Amino acid sequence: MSTGVTAASASAFTEAMARLASGVAVVSARRPDGAPCGLLVSSLCSYSARPPSVLVSVARDSRSCQVLADGAEFGVHLLGRGDAALAAVFAGRGEDKFAEAAWSWDGAVPRLAGTCAYLRCAPGAAFGHGDHVVVIGEVVRCDLGGDDPLVYYRRSLGWRLAGEP
Ligand SMILES: Cc1cc2nc3c(=O)[nH]c(=O)nc-3n(C[C@H](O)[C@H](O)[C@H](O)COP(=O)(O)O)c2cc1C
């Protein structure tokens, strides 16, 4: 859908966004056939405290997009510094991303073990814009782990400032 607004150049936009430091999370859900699915996201943010809710933007070509847009419960796993390998798996297009991971069902939500924080979300709202779908989840459970966050900045995961250990 065109908004009538002139778009910035794609390269300027991606350069600008590369300067935004963000955490990363694995969003997971159960597909209609009962299998777990999930993807790595950096678009996650806190949406509101009343009710506690989060927002994530999912590309329409993600294999998890339809499940989330259709209102599945979902899990959000905030990744820690020790989770870079997990991040790579969930950023990929492997057939079974959960095969090598430690995980279990939390009701209808596939829960990965040992991440920085885990939020279980009931479906709140979903709407499409452009090539992404915005999904809002109401947080019904929140468990905290101990690791420092894995940070995505300037196209790198786990970046460090010069001189930082
Ligand atoms: C650092 C990083 C952040 C990402 N953030 C998002 C995001 O916010 N939304 C999204 O749809 N894809 C995001 N992706 C891409 C998906 O993780 C990737 O396309 C994945 O293969 C989708 O898997 P699926 O098709 O199994 O759902 C990101 C990838 C990386 C490396």
For the chain, the structural domain boundaries read 22-100+130-150
93 lines ligand 1 (CB under 6 A): yes
**Grouped pLDDT means (10 residues each) for the chain, 165 residues:** 75 94 97 98 98 98 98 97 95 96 98 97 98 98 93 88 64
66 lines ligand 1 (CB under 6 A): no
Predicted local distance difference test score (pLDDT) of residue 164: 67
Q: How many CB atoms lie within 10 A of CB 122?
A: 16
Nearest one of 10, 8, 76 to 43, comparing CA atoms: 76
Distance, CA 151 to ligand 1 centroid (Å)? Answer: 15
Per DSSP bridges, beta strands 36-41 and 25-30 are: antiparallel
CATH architecture, range 22-100+130-150: Roll (2.30)
User: Which is the closest atom of ligand 1 to the Cα of 43?
Assistant: 8
Distance of CA 63 to the CA centre of its chain: 13
- Continuous segment of H or E residues that includes residue 18: helix 10-18
Q: State yes or no: cis peptide before 36, omega within 30 of 0.
A: no
41 lines ligand 1 (CB under 6 A): yes
